[in-house]
Amino acid sequence: MVIGLGTGSTIFYAIECLSGRIRDGVSVEAVPTSYQTAMRARENGIPLTTLDDNPVLDLAIDGADQVDPQFMMIKGRGAALTREKCVASAAFRFVVVVDEAKVVKKLGGVVPVETLPFATKTAMAQLRGLGCRPFIREAVKKDGPVITDNGNFIVDCQFEAICDPAALEAEISLIPGVIESGLFTRFTGNTTVIVGNEKKCSVYTSPDVVP
């Protein structure tokens, strides 16, 4: 199999499990969505490949910041949203692993948006017109903005509530200078959501069944 690996703490656990399966003889290659994931995968002996060599993936595994009952999501807290969306779109099956606190009735709050540095300020002005408060994400232990693996900025957009996530994703994508947003609304038909808590996990494969 060829699988996509998202970015974040949830994926680190998946990498550890996948490493054990490889030692047991399972044949897998992985497309990482960030330098961080690539480094962690190499450390665990997982062979890496690219979308150039494998434009169609059997499976992609990732986490999410929020998931609603229709399997629409907000992602991007790890600033890898563009590559995560590319990998998700290439996969036959998109598996999202979250704890139960990430399951919400309606999406809202911060939506990350990746922007070209050249056009970030003009993009922010147009993002305000969509009803949010945008802020350039500042780095920790480094002065200045967060720089993505693509060399761009992350603008965190604070929304009170998102009535139509799919329409908002489409509107954001039309703004010149925007690369991608953290709204993931186009993968509901091939998504599996695994919701865990301290005692168990539940697997949902059809929209409208997440509690």
Question: So which residues are the catalytic ones?
Answer: 84
CA distance 134 to 129: 10
Residues 182-185: contacts with CB under 8 Å, at least 24 apart = 182/65, 182/74, 182/75, 182/76, 182/81, 182/111, 182/112, 182/113, 183/72, 183/73, 183/74, 183/107, 183/111, 184/64, 184/72, 184/73, 184/74, 184/75, 184/85, 184/88, 185/72, 185/73
CA distance 203 to 79: 26
Task: Check: CB of residue 152 under 8 Å from CB of residue 115.
Answer: yes
For residue 78, the tally of other CB atoms under 10 A from its CB is 23
Task: Check: CB of residue 59 under 8 Å from CB of residue 191.
Answer: no
Size of the chain, expressed as the number of residues it contains: 211
Tokens of 151: 């060399």
